Amino acid sequence: MIIKNIISKYSYVNDDVYVDKEGFMYKIDGFQLGYTFDFMDYYDLGWKAVTAAVSDVFSRGGEPKVALASIGIEKEKIDKIEEIVKGIKDACDYYQISFVGGDLNSSSSSGWIDISVVGKVLCNTKAENVREGDSVIITNPIGYTSLVFISYLNSWKIKLNYIEKNKIKHPIVNKRITSIFKKYCEHIHYSTDISDGLIVSLYNIIERSKKGIKLIRIPVSNYINDKIVEYHIKIDDILKFSGEEFEALLVVDRNYTDEILDFMKYLGFSPIYIGEVTNTNSLEFNDRIIKKTGWDNFTGWF
């Protein structure tokens, strides 16, 4: 909301990333160092910050090339800087990005970490190209991080295993997503990541394309479905508390849906066709309108 209502008045921001006329993508992303859990360390924060930034570039049809970091930290925790930087460097090595330094500041609060990424455009998808009848695909099933957040909000009463904890502390974007954009660019009309939650991201597509989406399936993994039954969790809560899984949504030509799904499976994804584009300007599922819900850095869960 802040970006939409204020920052866009003074900049070229109208999407998750900025794409220039020279074929480069630019993205900055970050969070407070206090946004963490007991099972995470400072190395994890460095890794996660890089993944959060590159996820936007990968999911928008780009290939990250260079990363810089801005870190603010309490003087009492200055000994943790090397852990953070090692996490940043290892993540950059994994994504084959050049880590070229950045900026360090003292902080009187919990501190912060921001990662700036410059990438090369492989496929410049645009919301204006979204058409009625297009298919909406997600790269992999979700719900793991929702379980962590729901457990946290319920004093850790829900038992967590390595699978969901690792989704939070050491998230990974499948780099082979670049092959999808290279092969099917002309048939991918728009794309975005879901780091702020599935519903928030679907509404981003709706608002930017001025179209609607009719869901036929909520893409929760079978593993999480079992947890939903075991702990009597509402699917609406899974959607509300989702985020930080760094999967991508692709809006594709419906005539190429099956072909693209098959290719994604070949690359190691577990893609799901979750719905189609409509002209309703709303998000529908099972004959009801789903309200916008998820995470906002200023208001929290809404």
pLDDT tens digits, residue range 218-270? 999 999 999 999 999 999 999 999 989 999 999 999 999 999 999 999 999 99
State how beta strands 62-73 and 98-106 pair.
parallel
All structural domains of the chain with their residue ranges: 2-121, 127-301
List, for residues 267-280, the tens digit of each pLDDT value.
999 999 999 999 99
243: three-class secondary structure by DSSP = coil
Across the range 19-41, mean pLDDT stands at: 93
- For residues 260 and 264, give the distance between their C-alpha atoms in angstroms, rounded to a whole number: 6
What CATH number belongs to 2-121? 3.30.1330.10
- For residues 193 and 207, give the distance between their C-alpha atoms in angstroms, rounded to a whole number: 15
Model confidence at 161: pLDDT above 60: yes
Model confidence at 1: pLDDT above 80: no
Contacts 24+ apart (CB under 8 A), 163-167: 163/223, 165/39, 167/244, 167/245
pLDDT at 8: 62
Cα Rg, the chain, nearest whole Å: 19
pLDDT at 298: 79
Residues 162 and 24: beta-carbon distance below 8 Å: no
List, for residues 7-21, the tens digit of each pLDDT value.
666 665 567 899 998
- Average pLDDT over the chain reads 94
List, for residues 78-98, the tens digit of each pLDDT value.
999 999 999 999 999 999 999
Residues 99 and 92: beta-carbon distance below 8 Å: yes
DSSP, res 59: H
pLDDT at 14: 64
What CATH number belongs to 127-301? 3.90.650.10
- For residues 64 and 98, give the distance between their C-alpha atoms in angstroms, rounded to a whole number: 9
For residue 91, give the nearest of 60, 46, 145, 55 by alpha carbon.
46
- For residues 35 and 85, give the distance between their C-alpha atoms in angstroms, rounded to a whole number: 17
